[in-house]
Amino acid sequence: MNDRDLHAHLINQQGGRRSLNTPVLLIDLDVFERNVAAMAAFAKANGIRLRPHAKTHKCAEIARRQVAAGAVGVCCAKLGEAEEMAAGGIGSVLITSPVVSEPAIKRLVQLNARMAGLQVTVDNPDNARALAAAVGSGKPLTVLIDVDPGIKRTGVASAEAAVALAQVIAGLPQLKLIGVQYYCGRQQHIESYAERRNEIVDRTDYLRGVINALTEAGFAPSIITGGGTGTHRIDVELGLLNELQTGSYVFMDRQYNECDISGEGTPGFDTSLLIDARVVSANTPGLGTIDAGFKAMATDGGPPTVLSGAPVGAAFHFMGDEHGLVLFGETSPPVGSIVTLAVPHCDPTVNLYDFYHVVRGDTLVDMWPVEGRGRSR
């Protein structure tokens, strides 16, 4: 029995949220819609393409809403996510990680044959040749060169390597080179706006050198894609990127909520991704054990933030796989009462759930499947 079997009958029942089996992943629809509209308006006002990263939400319904608001398409970190977005009607998808294994390349070529706007990043000449060989006489594959911003995860490591890879791609008619990708992931969560800006200025100067080298070699990129929720305002100000890959702005989480993203001392977006949990034991005065532990959320971002059902900001402690402990102060909570949490890190938390339960206040208004859950390859 899945969540739809359990909860579909509660849709549009006033107060239905309170009858959900917990722990449960929620989207506050009012806040979510404001976030989507705000980023779309920002991109439009600044004349920059918006390609949100679907690794955050892994959900075709959310991608469709982002496109309807003005996005040109979405990004996906994994081929499996891209397959789900395409199946959900998204016509333009950029895969931001290299696709290198033989079975994965075969799937990539098949996906490219059945959708109009597939793009993929490359950072290695051998990978480019393998992609071209798999395409053969079929539909050419659109590629972007991934540029390493200095974290040594993926991407070419120098301007010279970028030019050399572009030259290899130019000799492969099965591939069409349209631009570069540049994602400064380490800088996204620097809490201080000034410190984050200083680092992005430095990294953008480096990218400008790479682009100048490509342009001088005859490979001027038409698409320069990258950035993220934490740096999008700075990226636009610096004027080099022409496509934004913001992702977490739709939800926000503890990591981003602790950052001055706006430059005005605020994150700039509000929290729409929530977990409702229920008090299952309260035998010690002032303490409540809830049914949300390690299995209910990603823990790499620290503990969740308590939003309601207990004193706001009350301390939370993980108490194992299934349980968390909330400090209620002088009183004990009623057993069965609900505590609402803001997740520490949205992307991997979403990967733990099959459905979003979409709410307005206490009313469940819809359920959206997380089609890309577990699509790690």
Domain CATH code at residue 135: 3.20.20.10
CA distance 274 to 151: 31
The answer as to whether 136 is a domain residue is: yes
Could you say which of 201, 227, 257 is where a domain stops? 257
| pTM as predicted | 0.97
* 38, 124: one domain: yes
The answer as to whether 262 is a domain residue is: no
* 45, 150: one domain: yes
* 33, 20: one domain: no
The answer as to whether 374 is a domain residue is: no
* 223, 272: one domain: no
* 171, 41: one domain: yes
- Tell me the one-letter amino acid at 205: D
* 19, 43: one domain: no
The answer as to whether 54 is a domain residue is: yes
Residue in 112, 185, 117 with CA at minimum distance from that of residue 155: 185
The answer as to whether 289 is a domain residue is: yes
* 191, 307: one domain: no
* 196, 249: one domain: yes
Q: Half-sphere exposure of residue 147, counting CA atoms within 13 Å on the CB side?
A: 31
* 218, 137: one domain: yes
* 79, 226: one domain: yes
Residue in 199, 198, 195, 209 with CA at minimum distance from that of residue 240: 209
SS3 readout for the chain: CCHHHHHHHHCCCCCHHHHCCCCEEEEEHHHHHHHHHHHHHHHHHCCCEECCECCCCCCHHHHHHHHHCCCCCEEECCHHHHHHHHHCCCCEEEECCCCCCHHHHHHHHHHHHHCCEEEEEECCHHHHHHHHHHHCCCCCEEEEEEECCCCCCCCECCHHHHHHHHHHHHCCCCEEEEEEEECCCCCCCCCCHHHHHHHHHHHHHHHHHHHHHHHHCCCCCCEEEECCCCCHHHHHHHCCCCEECCCHHHCCCHHHHCCCCCCCCCCCCCCCEEEEEEEEECCCCCEEEECCCHHHCCCCCCCCEEEECCCCCCCEEECCCCCEEEECCCCCCCCCCEEEEECCCHHHHHCCCCEEEEEECCEEEEEEECCCCCCCC
In this structure, the strands spanning 287-290 and 273-281 are antiparallel
Q: Is 320 exposed, middle or buried (0-12, 13-18, 19+ CB in 10 A)?
A: exposed
Residue with tokens 């979405």: 74
Identify the pLDDT of residue 296: 98
Does a cis peptide bond (omega within 30 degrees of 0) precede residue 23?
Answer: yes
Find the CATH number of the domain harbouring 319.
Answer: 2.40.37.20
Identify the pLDDT of residue 330: 84
Identify the pLDDT of residue 93: 98
pLDDT tens for the chain, 377 residues long, are 899 999 999 999 999 999 999 999 999 999 999 999 999 999 999 999 999 999 999 999 999 999 999 999 999 999 999 999 999 999 999 999 999 999 999 999 999 999 999 999 999 999 999 999 999 999 999 999 999 999 999 999 999 999 999 999 999 999 999 999 999 999 999 999 999 999 999 999 999 999 999 999 999 999 999 999 999 999 999 999 999 999 999 999 989 999 999 999 999 999 999 999 999 999 999 999 999 999 999 999 899 999 999 988 899 999 999 999 999 998 889 999 999 999 999 999 999 999 999 999 999 999 999 999 999 88
- Specify the number of domains making up the chain: 2
* 204, 102: one domain: yes
Domain of 288, in residue numbers: 3-27+268-369
Identify the pLDDT of residue 315: 95
* 180, 247: one domain: yes
Residue in 203, 205, 252 with CA at minimum distance from that of residue 229: 252
Residue in 22, 26, 25 with CA at minimum distance from that of residue 323: 22
Could you say which of 257, 278, 307 is where a domain stops? 257
Identify the pLDDT of residue 301: 87
Q: Identify whether the C-beta of residue 234 lies closer than 8 Å to the C-beta of residue 195.
A: no
The answer as to whether 282 is a domain residue is: yes
The answer as to whether 311 is a domain residue is: yes
Could you say which of 219, 238, 257 is where a domain stops? 257
The answer as to whether 377 is a domain residue is: no
Identify the pLDDT of residue 283: 95
